[in-house]
Amino acid sequence: MKMVKTYMMNDRQLHYALVLAEERSFTRTANKLNIAQPSLSQYINNLEQSLGHKLFDRTVTPLRLTAAGELYIEMARKIVDLERQLDQRLSDIEDEPSGTLSIGASAHHSLYTLPQAIKLFVEKYPRYNIMVSEQPNDLRMQLLEKGELDLCLTVLPANKNKFDWTEVLIEELLLTLPADHPLNETLTILDEAKPGRNFPLVDLSELKDTPFLMVNENHNLYRVVNNLCRQSGLQPREIVRCESTEVCHTMVAAGIGVSILHSVCANYEGFSQKLRYYSIIQDYPVRILAVAYRKNQYIPRAALDFIKILKSS
C-alpha cells in the first residue's frame, strides 16, 4: 500500500512563507516581520525539509518561487482565506458581530466618500474595526483578489471574471467656484432638465477668460475637462496645476480660481460655506463608482450593511 504523506501547516510557517513570497527578499521579509534574518532562514529551511521540497530559488535576485513553492503559496492563501471566512461566519451568528472590515479606496474617496458611511457603520457595529487602505486602483484590486481586502471602491468597469460589485453612485462633474466669486451673480441658470445633474445647471461657454485651476495631465480628469472646454469653445486660462483633486479643491476654497471637479467633492462639509457648485450642461463620460468584492466569496452581514450605508449616504 502506498503511504500518503500528510503536511501540517502552522500559522507561523504560513505567515512567514506568504510574506517572503510577496517581498522576495529575506532581508526585507525579516524587517517586515521584525525578526532576525537567521531565524527567518531557519524557519523556511525547516519548512522545506518537512515538505521534502525547496519552495524558494535562492540562486536568483530577487528570489523566486519554485514549482513546489507556487503550489504551497497557493494552498497557503486558500487556508488563510478559509480561516478568515470561518471567523466571519462565526461572527455573523453572534448577536453583536465583531471583526475587522478592510476597505480599499483612493485617497480621493477616502476623503470625500467614506467618512460619513464609516461614521454610520461604527454606530451600528461598535465591535467592528475598520481598516482603510489607500493604493492605486490596480494594486487595490490585486489585494482584493488575494483576499487581503474585503471590499474595494473602484470606478467601473472591473474584471467581471474575478469580481462582483454593487454600484453606489454616479459621479457628475461640477463647476466649482469660491463663494464670493463674481460669476455666482452673473451665471445663467438653465431651466432645462438633464439626467444625472443635481445642482443648478450652467453652460461652460460663459467662463471665457476665467482663471482655472487644473489637475495634472496624468489625471483622466484633465483630459475630460479639456474636452468639455473644447465643446463649449472655451480656452481655459490655467493659473495653477495641481497634483491631486484634493489640492485643487482646497485652492478653489482659498479663492484662487475656479475648477471642474467630481461631485463627491461637494460631500466635504469643511468647504460648504466657502464654495458654490454647478452642474454642467455639456456632455462628458459618466463615471460610476462601485464597491467590488471577490466572486464566490462569503460576504459578512456587516460588509453588506456597509455597502447599503455607502449607497444611501
Q: What is the pLDDT along the chain (313 residues), one digit of tens a residue?
A: 444 454 556 778 888 998 899 899 999 999 988 999 988 989 898 888 888 899 999 999 899 999 999 998 888 888 887 887 777 777 777 767 888 999 999 999 999 999 999 999 999 999 899 999 999 999 999 999 988 899 999 999 999 999 999 999 999 999 999 999 999 999 999 998 888 899 999 999 999 888 899 999 888 899 999 888 888 888 878 888 999 999 999 999 999 999 999 999 998 988 989 999 999 999 998 899 999 999 988 888 899 999 999 998 7
- What CATH class does 171-285 carry? alpha beta
Cell numbers standing for residue 136 = 492605486
The domain segmentation of the chain, as residue ranges, is 11-77, 97-169+288-312, 171-285
DSSP-assigned letters across all residues of 171-199: EPEEEEEETT-THHHHPPPB----TT--S
First to last CA, the chain: 63
Identical fold, 11-77 and 171-285: no
CATH 1.10.10.10 is the classification of domain 11-77: yes
**Quick one: cell of 154?**
473602484
DSSP H helix total and E strand total for the chain: 11, 13
The β-bridge relationship of strands 237-242 and 128-134 is: unpaired
Q: Hey, what CATH class is 97-169+288-312 in?
A: alpha beta
pTM of the shown model: 0.72
